[in-house]
Chains A and B, each alone.
Chain A
Amino acid sequence: MTDVKNTVAPALEDESQKPSIFGFWLYLMTDTVLFASLFATFIVLRGRTAGGVSGEEIFSLPYVFIETLILLISSFVAGLALFTARARRKALTISLLLVTGLLGLAFLAMEIHEFRTLVTEGHGWGTSAFLSSYFTLVGTHGLHILIGLIWLGVSIMFILQRGFTDRFLTRLTMWSMFWHFLDVIWIGIFTIVYLVGIV
């Protein structure tokens, strides 16, 4: 029993006690409050379409559902990558991280495609308060995804150049928390923006 414990679990426990991990949790809380103010603004402004389109007319639920699935799967793979990284399995970790990154890129591409379609159809962010708040809320999430992807790229480079140092593993834990956090926010967006917007 003790052997099993010594491989993964204790590292996890120690990790969560680190001030930097605790600090990162606090950071995620502040980011949640930032999103909360964007959500609140969206809810207040969603009906203010200024004679333009409403959510019902422009959202496609199947499209967004695929986006959601891609993001959730990428988070699952990211979780696996953290475990393999703690076991210091270099090749496997890098491939898992690459899969995560590709899924993240696919998500981002789908979002950009959705935005582009809206803008070319004449429903840009300057058309109404509703569209301003929609583009900002979803776009801010997208911007976070982009930052997460850059961070991911840097992490892969770091593993290739320096391997798994202790400080790196702590940072990778933070990145993984960040990535899961973006899932949570996306579930909020999926529900409040798209589901409520269509139903």
Chain B
Amino acid sequence: MEFFANLLGRMDLSYFWHGWVQFGAQLTLIGAVVLVIGLLTYFKKWKWLWREWLTTQDAKRIGVMYIIVAVGMLLRGASDALMLRLQQALASGNSEGFISSDHFQQIFTAHGTIMIFFVAMGLMFGLINLVLPLMIGSRDVAFPTLNSTSFYLFLAGVVLTNLSLIYGEFGSAGWLAYPPLSELAYSPGPGIDYWLWSIQIAGVGSLLSGINFLVTILKHRAKGMTLMKMPVFVWSVLGAMILVVFAFPILTGTLFMLSLDRSMGMHFFTSDFGGNPMMYINLIWAWGHPEVYILILPAFGLFGEVVATFSRKRLFGYKSMVWALMAITVLSYTVWLHHFFTMGAGGNVNAFFGIMTMIIAVPTGVKVFNWLFTMYRGKISFASPMWWFMAFVATFALGGATGVLLSIPAIDFQVHNSLFLVAHFHNVIVGGVVFGYFAGLTYWFPKIFGFRLHERLGKAAVTLWTSGFLLAFIPLYILGLLGATRRLDHYDPSLGWQPLFIVSGIGALLIGLGIVVQLAQVVYSIWKRRQLRDTTGDPWDGRTLEWSVPSPAPHYNFARLPIVSTRDAWYEAKHGGNQVFSGEYKDIELPRNTGFGVYVGILSVLFGFGFIWHLWWLVLLSSVALIYVIIRRTYDENITYVIPAADVERLDTRKAAI
């Protein structure tokens, strides 16, 4: 009997029931999963799903899967946000709101974790997968199987996070789980472990993606595309991936040490036996600060493409844009301490990091002016990606300004840990990252699916998001200055904060409405796909190589590999410059589908689950299985297939065009 009890680790039936609010969430999640499984079975689509999607090695399809998962998680993260806003609008004085303290803490932890790791990172890797190979004139990424494995590691993190909702609990120590609170002594439950292993596994996936895209950019560019002829989006991804490669190992190492503290009784970050919690905070932000630039750099880059295309002009100051991107890449490693000025590192240290933080605002400012000067005297068409851009410039400039305020240690001491800070980082992440990726999704949608998204619904979404955003976060700036700390689940009515919290809640509702309109936009566009069809392959009069192939882009990307002689190679070719495609058709060698990534993903979930619930036999079993799967893969010789040159020529509908 004891033997079986040990097999179950610390699993216990009581972890299913937490209260009615959670029960609603559990039902919603289980219902969604059952619905998807049911639909797939009813329409007999399992084989199709496996062959066409799950085992695919095509970067574009992997990108689509990233985006679908990220949007799903956006819905969950946004529901968390609405619950937090509702609680804070209600819970003053005698009213305790509708969420318990402990549940509230889990919700803000889940909201932060999900939005950064599974929404922002998912949208970023999704977009990069969709267009980066096309933009540099390549048929695929450098390592397609590794690419699909990265996706499944990301998905494994998503699965573990959502599993915590059904069985167990999530972390309640904030999205970065500062010790000693996150140590075993103060958080004995499985919540922190769920957080830890979700992030750890997804983080390894991101790290592998970083290596993959760096090699892709540096080794797989089209002939003639020197570094200074790369589209600015490619430069921004290069910067972001350099950051990934140098920052994510720190995250892996830090989480590794925290997990050793929790599972093996070590004392890295505990408050006793010589442990040093501040070491964790230094390490986690040495990853965390580069991480925010990892998210924002690709958004900067894609705005460079969007603004140039819709202004019918070459990007203003390409070289300064490249230098600004690279400067941000380097500088982002020199500012991490501004996340904890109040640690007490001393005046000189704070001054250094304060000044570096002000300096990093300079290249960012350069980029804003470059975009504005690109628009100056351009023939601007205000399509919805441009609307996202304008919403971005207005809100991001505000967020940047409050960031410079916070960079001054003396001011930071006043408003640290307050809602002012919360408003600031939402201002740059929503206004910068989220608006940026939405612009990118709208802009590149026709390239992947062959039809455009409905314009008016898109513009309605921009309007709702922007007004909702301002309404939700301007009150938080004021509240922060009034002294409201972050993560409050209850406050005294005499403070007079409630009206502002209610306004903020209304803003959050407007954002929610914006998301609903976006979902409606996708559904309506699918319904009206015939009218919205992109027959040209180049619906926006684009400038870069992805617009030179038909829409939707063929799975081999290019029938003949392009040869580039200028920046904006496709735009130049359309206007009498050098041809991009010429010469003979050749055989195309493409990677064969494989379930390798899927197996690695499933085993990683089991591995993480074993660690979370102390099922050591499962940890051992899944590790051995993982090694077996990898070894088996090395024996697989038949990993590519060939499309003969004659077939390529027949398939190439574009050969007459240019």
Q: Which chain A residues have a beta carbon within 8 Å of chain B's beta carbons?
A: 19-20, 22-23, 26-27, 29-38, 40-41, 44-45, 48-50, 125-130, 132-133, 135-136, 140, 150, 154, 158, 162, 165, 167, 171
Contacts and interface: CB of A to CB of B under 8 A. Distances in A.
Contact of A33 (B142, B215, B246): B246
Contact of B268 (A32, A45, A165): A45
A37 B143 contact: no
A31 B268 CA distance: 20
B634 A31 contact: no
B554 interface: no
Given A128-B274, A129-B267, A30 B248 contact: yes
Contacts of A130: 274
A45 B256 CA distance: 16
Nearest to B251: A37
A34 B286 CA distance: 12
Contact of A19 (B215, B627, B637): B215
A110 to B, nearest CB: 22
11 contacts: A19-B142, A23-B212, A23-B215, A26-B215, A30-B246, A30-B248, A30-B249, A34-B250, A126-B265, A132-B268, A158-B634
Contacts of A49: 274
A125 B279 contact: no
A11 B421 CA distance: 56
Nearest to B142: A19
A132 B266 contact: yes
A28 to B, nearest CB: 10
B245 A154 contact: no
Contact of B267 (A23, A38, A128, A162): A128
A170 B252 CA distance: 27
A130 B276 CA distance: 11
Interface string B233-275: 0000000000001101110111011001100111110101111
Nearest to A147: B627
B264 A125 contact: yes
A129 B270 CA distance: 9
Interface in B265-312: 265-268, 270, 272-276, 279, 283, 286
Contacts of B250: 33-34, 36-37
Contacts of A41: 253, 257, 268, 279, 283
Contact of B207 (A30, A38, A158): A30
Interface of B: 142-143, 207, 210-212, 214-215, 218-220, 245-246, 248-250, 252-254, 256-257, 260-261, 264-268, 270, 272-276, 279, 283, 286, 627, 631, 634-635, 637
Contacts of A127: 273
A162 B246 CA distance: 37
A137 to B, nearest CB: 10
Given A49-B274, A132-B260, A26 B211 contact: yes
A126 B268 contact: no
Contact of B143 (A20, A29, A44): A20
Given A20-B143, A30-B207, A136-B257, A37 B274 contact: no
Contacts of A23: 142-143, 211-212, 214-215
A126 B249 CA distance: 24
Contact of A50 (B142, B256, B267, B634): B267
Contact of A125 (B265, B274, B627): B265
Contacts of A19: 142-143, 215, 219-220
Give the most central of A34, A38, A40, A126: most B CB within 10 Å.
Answer: A34
A22 B260 CA distance: 32
Contacts of A136: 256-257, 260, 266, 268
A48 B142 CA distance: 45
Contacts of A48: 274-276
A26 B212 CA distance: 9
Contact of A34 (B252, B265, B274): B252
B97 to A, nearest CB: 40
B257 A30 contact: no
Contacts of A133: 268
B451 to A, nearest CB: 35
Contacts of B275: 45, 48, 129, 132
Given A37-B250, A129-B275, 17 more contacts: A22-B215, A26-B214, A26-B215, A30-B211, A34-B252, A37-B253, A37-B286, A38-B253, A38-B257, A41-B268, A45-B274, A45-B276, A136-B268, A140-B256, A154-B634, A165-B637, A167-B637
Closest 7 CB pairs of A and B: A48-B274, A129-B274, A132-B266, A37-B253, A33-B249, A50-B274, A34-B249
Contacts of B279: 41, 44-45
B612 to A, nearest CB: 20
A23 B212 CA distance: 7
Contacts of B627: 150
Contact of A37 (B214, B218, B249, B267): B249
Given A31-B249, A33-B246, A34-B252, A129 B273 contact: yes
